[in-house]
Amino acid sequence: MKLTKWKIFFAMLAVSAFLLVSCDETTTEPEPDVFKPVAPSGLMATSLDNQTIRIKWTHSADVDNPKFKEYEIVVTGGGPLAPVSKDKQSNTYELTGLDEGTVYTFEVSSVSTEGEKSAAVSIKWSPASRFTESAPNFANPIRVYETASSFGSGLLLYDADNEGPVIKKVANGAEWDLGLYTTGKLVFGSAKLLTYNFGTNPVNIVEISDNVLTGYNSLDEVYDSQALSAGSFKEQLIDLTKYNQNIVLVVRKKASGEDKWHYAKVFIKYLNDAFLMGQPDNRYIELVVSYQMVADVPYARIGKIK
């Protein structure tokens, strides 16, 4: 049977279309999937002593993805530091050998098995001195005594000559930063507001944040996500009868004649269902103090690096 010229034409057209489609199918490759992990969140920091900072964060939402590899931490400030890798199960990092008053920036990113990185979350922080004993001998816990005691009811947060916190008596009232008053009440706070018959009245301005922190067993647990200066401060007395657990006060001090603040945290222990320990008339409260010796360093600021 003879093919007409039209049948031959359509047959050739069909073959050309087939070859064209086949050629397209063999030369087009799908784009590979690129996994870029989500950044961690909730980055916070705390100073353990005058050389050590610990940070913690909330895990990335992608941490359980098989392509999620690790976290990368970059620290800047002071001398150059190499990036640090932490495995995907970790959400804390501790760095020592630092300088008090130097502000360090910690940036934390998520990293995939293919080397893709998320944006970095960041926080700025500086180490601060930690005191559990009082100067000058550093042989006894920091104890501030009740009003009736012949021991000191006042606290100088930091004495440069003795390199630490010092307990002060009423005769040295000019040096008080904070104090305890127990006659008819149980209050601790700004020395200027206490009704002692001081030899010389307190001269330093010492303010306390309105945000009294509770639920902590030590200062090591008190992390921050923003500068301590972000709080609302005023000279005030804290009524200890309102609390039945350890409390932490965020404090700032401006010494007489100065125009810059020093920041501190004061941990007040609650033991055996009470703040006051010991026997009358020498009962006391026991403190731990974290004090930043460099002025205008409020420990932290937070942000995200794009």
pLDDT digits (tens, 9 = 90+) for 88-115: 999 999 999 999 999 999 999 999 999 9
306 band by pLDDT with thresholds 50, 70 and 90: very low
Domain ranges of the chain: 41-127, 130-291
Which pLDDT does position 6 carry in this prediction?
47
pLDDT band at 12 (very low <50, low <70, confident <90, very high): low
Q: Candidates 2.60.40.10, 2.60.420.10, 2.130.10.10, 3.30.390.10; correct CATH number of 41-127?
A: 2.60.40.10
Whether pLDDT at 303 is above 60: no
Q: Per-residue pLDDT for 18 more than 90?
A: no
Residue 170 phi, psi (nearest 5): -60, -35
- Per-residue pLDDT, averaged over 156-163, amounts to 96
pLDDT in tens, 225-273: 988 998 899 999 999 999 999 999 999 999 998 999 999 999 999 999 9
pLDDT band at 160 (very low <50, low <70, confident <90, very high): very high
List the one residue out of 124, 165, 170, 126 whose CA is nearest residue 146.
170
Calculate ∠ Cα 56-121-96, nearest 5°: 45
How many Å apart are CA 118 and CA 40, to the nearest integer? 9
Confidence bin at 19 (pLDDT 50/70/90): very low
Question: Worst-scoring range by mean pLDDT, 74-88, 240-254, 268-282, 290-304?
Answer: 290-304
Model-level pTM? 0.86
Judge whether residue 20 has pLDDT over 50: no
Tell me the per-residue pLDDT of 118-138, one tens digit each, with 9 for 90 and over. Answer: 999 999 999 999 999 999 999
